[in-house]
Amino acid sequence: MSSSVFANLGHVMRSRDPSVEQRRAKRDLVDMVSHVTARGRTHGIRIINISELGLMCRSDGELLTGERISVWLPVLKDYAAEIRWAQDGRAGMEFLEPIRPRLYDAMMALIPPRQTAW
C-alpha cells in the first residue's frame, strides 16, 4: 500500500485526539436558563456553553436539525440561529450572524459562569 495514503490520514488521527481543539471559537461554560422560539412555539432551554458563533443547550422541547429559531440572550434579546444538531435532549445551534466582540463581552457580564465541583 502506498505511503501517500497514510500521509493523508493525519486529519483522522487529530480528530480522535482529545487534546486537539478543533472548534472555530472558544466556548465559555455557563449555566443560564433561557428560551427559544421555533415554529411559533416557545421552548425552555438551559444554556451549557456559548461562543460568538453559537451555543449548546439542553431542552425538553422538540428542536429539529436545520430549523431556524430565535434564542433569547441578554443584551441581544431574540437572536437568530439555526439548529445544527439535536440529540438526547441536547442541541447545538449556530448564530446566523456572529456576535460582535463588544456585545459578546457585555452579554457575558450578565450570564452566570458554570460552577463545576469535582
Residue-wise pLDDT tens digits, 89-108: 999 999 999 999 999 999 99
pTM over 0.85: no
Percentage of the residues of the chain whose pLDDT score is greater than 90: 69
Instruction: Assess whether pLDDT exceeds 80 at residue 87.
Output: yes
Nearest Cα neighbor of 46 from 30, 32, 29 is: 32
* pLDDT at residue 22, rounded to an integer: 56
Asked whether 5 and 22 are in contact (CB, 8 A), the reply is no
What are the tens digits of pLDDT across the range 17-44?
Answer: 444 445 567 899 999 999 999 999 999 9
Give kind and range of the element (H or E) at residue 100: none
Neighbours of 75 (CB within 10 A): 16
CB-based burial of residue 103 (10 Å sphere; 0-12 exposed, 13-18 middle, 19+ buried)?
middle
At the topology level, CATH places domain 25-108 in Thrombin, subunit H (2.40.10)
* pLDDT at residue 115, rounded to an integer: 77
- Cell output for 79: 437572536
Cα–Cα distances in Å, from 78 out to 5, 6, 49, 62, 86?
Answer: 48, 47, 18, 19, 20
Domain residue limits, the chain: 25-108
* pLDDT at residue 12, rounded to an integer: 47
